[in-house]
């Protein structure tokens, strides 16, 4: 599976559909909007987390009307494609490829309402992971309460860090494998089948 070819085909499709929809609406994309669409930001402009304290409220961020127009055009294009051909899986294929490649266009499609297909067992796996994490944390707390020595505390702290790290790596690995399966499953019903 060639991720680069998938990504370039998907980006071409999404950008073309957004531009077509903007043109169809009678408000074609400006040069600034086209530039933003081709070079989306990789991080949010909101860098402060609100804690609820009045002193810690973030500075208001001005609206980005260019980005909002891109989202609206993507949403309309997605809805129109779904109405014209409900069996088409091009948008689901696109968001899966974009998410696998961690491309910022996946945020735009997410805000436009494009849903990534999830397996039926996804919620159960999350529930099981939470149970394992809680059991591991409680075990470490009980062991810490029974043996309060400094070496034991350091050892249990390292165990906790390892538990968090293994949980993250396992969940990321499962996510990547599931995205790859979804892409392979959707590829034959996508118009990109001949291109990828």
Summarize pLDDT for 135-192 with one digit per residue, the tens. Answer: 887 887 787 777 777 777 787 778 788 888 888 888 888 888 888 888 888 876 666 6
User: Does a structural domain hold residue 56?
Assistant: no
User: Does a structural domain hold residue 51?
Assistant: no
Burial of 142 (0-12, 13-18, 19+ CB in 10 A): exposed
User: Does a structural domain hold residue 25?
Assistant: yes
Tell me what pLDDT residue 196 has.
45
User: Does a structural domain hold residue 119?
Assistant: yes
- Determine contact, residues 104/40, Cβ cutoff 8 Å: yes
User: Does a structural domain hold residue 52?
Assistant: no
Q: With pLDDT > 70 as the criterion, what percentage of the chain qualifies? A: 84
User: Does a structural domain hold residue 176?
Assistant: yes
pTM of the model: 0.71
> What's the domain range around 139?
3-42+63-194
Under 8 Å CB-to-CB from 184, ≥6 apart: which residues?
1
User: Does a structural domain hold residue 50?
Assistant: no
User: Does a structural domain hold residue 109?
Assistant: yes
Q: Count of domains in the chain?
A: 1
């Amino acid at each position: 599976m060639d991720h680069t070819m998938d990504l370039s085909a998907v980006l071409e499709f999404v950008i073309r559909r957004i531009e077509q929809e903007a043109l169809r609406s009678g408000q074609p994309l400006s040069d600034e909007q086209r530039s933003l669409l081709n070079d989306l930001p990789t991080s949010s402009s909101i860098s402060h987390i609100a804690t609820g304290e009045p002193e810690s409220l973030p500075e208001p961020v001005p609206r980005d009307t260019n980005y909002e127009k891109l989202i609206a055009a993507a949403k309309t294009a997605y809805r129109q494609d779904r109405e014209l051909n409900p069996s088409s899986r091009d948008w689901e294929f696109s968001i899966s490829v974009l998410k696998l490649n961690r491309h910022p266009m996946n945020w735009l499609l997410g805000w436009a309402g494009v849903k990534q297909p999830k397996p039926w067992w996804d919620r159960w796996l999350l529930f099981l992971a939470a149970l394992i994490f809680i059991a591991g944390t409680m075990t470490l707390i009980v062991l810490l309460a029974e043996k309060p020595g400094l070496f034991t505390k350091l050892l249990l702290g390292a165990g906790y860090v390892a538990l968090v790290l293994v949980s993250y790596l396992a969940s990321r690995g499962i996510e990547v494998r599931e995205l790859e399966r979804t892409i392979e499953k959707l590829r034959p019903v996508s118009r990109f089948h001949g291109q990828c």
